[in-house]
A and B are shown apart, each in its own frame.
Chain A
Amino acid sequence: MSDKPLVDVENLHIAFPREDGGWHEAVRGVSFSLLAREKLGIVGESGSGKSLSSRALLGVLPEHARMSADRLRFDGIDLLQASPRERRKLRGGRMSMILQDPKFSLNPVLKVGRQIMEAFRIGYPALSGAETRRRAIDMLEAVHIRSPERVMDLYPHQISGGMGQRVMIAMMMAREPELLVADEPTSALDVTVRTQVLSIMDELVTRRGAGLILISHDLKLVSRFCNRVLVMYAGRIVESLRADEMHNARHPYTRGLLACLPSIQSTGDPLPVLQREAGWANPEGQP
């Protein structure tokens, strides 16, 4: 690992206009960085600002969102100064993102193969059609799809969720990005295929030496695949931990999350209810 961060975010704020003319602050001063090849997990309950923080990084925030940051850098590139065109060139090429549910994130009227080929066509317009197709098939093989040629000609509604998410991984890893953000990549999948899909993604990321930001609300799952975990609560990062030191968590919210994990040795007592305190949402509330 080199010392220069691949991603460097400081004091990120994202807000949305409210009906009453005020602003709803969804992300309030998030700072984090990611080294090359590092795997960072972000956990937190739904609505805590995980997706928005990563979408800001890729430059695909909702149109009416207002964003500000002291620093937003990718491999030394100042994303705050970059033109929309420059940011588009980065997307899909050097940084990409996997969304939650392939049922919605794949275009329903285009064949799966064509959607993967599009990723290549955008990045390497000089490639011949046959070569593009060959590479798309290679990508499907890389995500362990058994008869890739057949799958190329299927439409999204003809494949399972697990296969859809592998297609999504193939599409987003096609151009060997240095950063992959996976936003709850298995939440919409059958429990039986979750680990398999995550392992395939992890394998590809590791083999190609990419950095990973894995977003989830499942602390246990994230700590299995990542080096470091950020815990978000109400638009803020309340705790940052090394994955192998989860037991050292100090913030009550994180401890609550840990306590909620069911374990095999559990006594059969009902799981404790997660505690929340309004004070955690304030900067002073951080332990």
Chain B
Amino acid sequence: MILRLLTYSRHAGAWAATVAITLFGLAVLTFVIGRVVPIDPVLAIVGDKASPDVYQRVFIELGRDKPLYVQFATYVSGLLHGDFGQSFVTSRPVLSDLLDFFPATLELSTIGLLIGMVLGIPAGVAAAYWHEKWPDHLVRLIALVGYSVPVFWLGLVGLFFLYFKLDWVSGPGQLDVFYQGIVENRTGSILIDSALAGEWEVFWNAMSHIILPALLLGYYSLAYIGRMTRSMMLDQLNREYVLTARLKGASEFEVVVGHALRNAAIPLVTIVALSYGSLLEGSVLVETIFSWPGIGNYLASSLFRADMNAVLGGTLVVGAVFVFLNMLSDALYGVLDPRAREHLS
């Protein structure tokens, strides 16, 4: 028992070390980027009409006169205390900005991922089951389009037809002006907040806004998840245990879902986590097209205004989310795969 606990904690220790090293690497990366880009943070604050005196004062305030390693230590200790620096544009701590913008991104990409999973996994399973028949060709076509059509083009086409021409969905933004400020912000997700408050009109308005960008992200997620599910299921359906299940008299549904998909689910966890990560990151374009007040939008506009603290803070958050998703999929791997569990306990 104690031995078991020991090996487990050793494993958990190794795990924590990996995460810590990854996050540290991320901090090094953002620090270096912040030093090498040809943007002078002092100039960004004081403006190019400031006197040399003022410039010098801010230069020292920012600690730019100190050696690089001291600057890095200050940077990392700031990060550890949740201090990502000030945004030059909003004059607020970058962290508060990020906390304001992140929920909108999370809401959008979560719905996108759900669409991608709910449609992509069955599509991939069907494609593998009817290999080389029409469901397979259809899924491959959908995936191919998802891989080759740029997201901004599809987004603009969608907006043009579904919003501008047909008026089936609402336009850019999270809510119509009319509905703004009705629901108190509690979770950061307007859908959840309005549902909790019982404000169904607001809810449906928010829904009509989110549906198009979410479908768009969902489509790309579907293309990826569907393609990967297909190839993993093709692999599993050729295994001998699938024949065993058929020999037992199991129904085709049991064979495909209960046996083959149950095995394919193990690598799929990683695929879904990766897809989630890339939705969070890839939302930059979609959020820009749909004026979605999320991290992507924040990152893009900060970048255009040379607001380096904001850009690096946003990058760190996106990176940390990736690390977190990876940890999560590792943990789920152990839950789903008895062979991996062996190594844990």
Residues of chain A having any CB pair with chain B under 8 Å: 58, 60, 88-93, 96-97, 99, 101, 104-111, 118-119, 122-123, 155, 157, 168, 171-172
Contact = CB atoms under 8 A, between A and B. Distances in A.
Given A110-B262, A155-B339, A88 B249 contact: yes
Contacts of A172: 247-248
A188 to B, nearest CB: 11
Contacts of A92: 247-250
Contacts of B338: 108-109, 111, 155, 157
Given A99-B240, A99-B244, A155-B338, A108 B250 contact: no
B262 A109 contact: yes
Interface of B: 239-241, 243-251, 254, 259, 262-263, 266, 336-339, 342
A89 B249 contact: yes
B243 A60 contact: yes
A108 B245 CA distance: 12
Contacts of B243: 60, 99, 105
13 contacts: A89-B249, A91-B248, A92-B248, A99-B244, A101-B240, A105-B243, A107-B262, A109-B263, A109-B337, A122-B249, A155-B339, A157-B342, A168-B244
A99 B247 CA distance: 10
A106 B247 CA distance: 12
A123 B249 contact: yes
Given A106-B241, A109-B263, A157-B338, A60 B247 contact: yes
Contacts of B251: 88
A266 B240 CA distance: 40
A92 B251 CA distance: 11
Sorted nearest first, the 9 A-B pairs with minimum C-beta distance are A92-B249, A104-B240, A92-B248, A155-B338, A91-B249, A107-B241, A105-B240, A105-B244, A97-B247
A91 B244 contact: no
B260 to A, nearest CB: 9
Contacts of A105: 240-241, 243-244
A157 B247 contact: no
B247 A58 contact: yes
A99 B245 CA distance: 11
Nearest to B244: A105
Contacts of B254: 122
Contacts of B245: 107, 118
Nearest to A55: B243
A275 to B, nearest CB: 33
B247 A104 contact: no
Contacts of A119: 248-249
Given A104-B239, A106-B241, A109-B336, A96 B247 contact: yes
Contacts of B339: 108, 155, 157
B241 A108 contact: yes
Given A107-B259, A109-B262, A155-B338, A93 B249 contact: yes
A106 B244 contact: yes
A105 to B, nearest CB: 5
Nearest to B266: A109
A189 to B, nearest CB: 15
A104 B240 CA distance: 6
A113 to B, nearest CB: 13
B240 A118 contact: no
Contacts of A104: 239-241
Which interface residue of B247, B259, B338 has the most chain A CB atoms within 10 A? B247
A91 B247 contact: yes
B336 to A, nearest CB: 7
Nearest to A103: B240
A208 to B, nearest CB: 17
Nearest to A123: B249
Contacts of B337: 109
Contacts of A96: 247-248
A232 to B, nearest CB: 21
B266 A118 contact: no
A250 to B, nearest CB: 35
A111 to B, nearest CB: 8
A113 B202 CA distance: 52
A278 B338 CA distance: 49
- Scoring A89, A105, A155, A168 by chain B CB atoms within 10 A of each residue's CB, the highest score goes to A105
Given A92-B250, A110-B262, A122-B249, 7 more contacts: A92-B249, A99-B243, A101-B240, A107-B244, A109-B336, A111-B338, A122-B248
A107 B247 CA distance: 13
A226 to B, nearest CB: 21
Contacts of B246: 60, 88, 91
Contact of A108 (B247, B248, B249, B263): B263
Nearest to B250: A122
A157 B342 CA distance: 10
Between B249, B250, B339, the greatest number of chain A beta carbons within 10 A of the residue's beta carbon is seen for B249
Given A155-B338, A157-B339, A107 B248 contact: no
A118 B247 contact: no
B250 to A, nearest CB: 6
A89 B262 CA distance: 23
Contacts of B239: 104
Nearest to B238: A62
A280 B309 CA distance: 82
Contacts of B262: 107, 109-110
Contacts of A171: 244, 248
Contacts of A97: 247
A139 B101 CA distance: 60
Contacts of B241: 104-108
Contacts of A118: 245, 248, 250
B232 to A, nearest CB: 13
